[in-house]
Amino acid sequence: MDVISWTGRTACALQAAMRATNEDFANRIGVAVRTVASWHQRPDTVPRAEIQEALDTVYGRAPAAVLRRFNLLTRPTAGPVEAQALRVAIAVVVRRGDVLLVCRSDDGRISWQFPAGIVKPGAVPDAVAVSETFAETGVHCSVRMSLGSRLHPDSGALCEYRLCDYLTGEAANLDMRENAAVQWVPISDLTKFIPPSRIYPPIVAALEDA
């Protein structure tokens, strides 16, 4: 197994690669949620030895897709290194009165979300939203408009939201390593799948217009 120099920064990179909330990540490694939050605030913090061992265990059990994202997030860059939030493009794809969702299953925990993908340096969020939607679901879409961006309250990732129009394709689960299901959901039923408190408010306004 790779030897990781665990700091707040690399621990948060593992959390982001796993797409875990602060609470979920804290539960996995057996620490308080405030500890994870402190790593976001002070990325140079070095965790205690027993916490580093727990991080080694979680890293060692992570699937290949998580390891690829982690390696991307921790890849050295030229010039001064600055702590940057993970950037994610999120596609809110509408088809008549439906919206496209993916279901992630992580250790038995079910979470319905919009299709999303990491925006690598130099990439364009619009293109990532479109390509990741197709890669995950087989649905072709086009970006209609930006719905804005925010730092996600749970993961700390910089989320770029895009309202997208369905073009063609049958919705299917094409990424079975990460997703348990893919489904078109009536917009009126969205809050049955995603709690209202977790939905970015401009999405609600856009879907009402849609």
Q: Which CATH class is domain 87-209?
A: alpha beta
**Burial state string for 112-130 with b = 16 or more CB within 10 A and e = fewer than 16:** bebbbbbbeeeeebbebbb
C-alpha R_g of the chain: 17
Those residues with Cβ within 8 angstroms of residue 207's Cβ, 6 or more apart along the chain or in another chain: 92, 94, 99, 187, 190
Model pLDDT for residues 68-124, shown as the tens digit of each residue = 888 888 876 544 434 456 889 999 999 999 999 999 876 567 789 999 999 988 889
- How many Cα atoms within 13 Å fall on the side-chain side of residue 193? 20
Model pLDDT for residues 178-210, shown as the tens digit of each residue = 888 999 999 999 999 999 988 999 999 999 876
Q: How far apart are CA 59 and CA 67, in angstroms?
A: 8
**Domain ranges for the chain:** 8-73, 87-209
Q: How far apart are CA 97 and CA 43, in angstroms?
A: 43
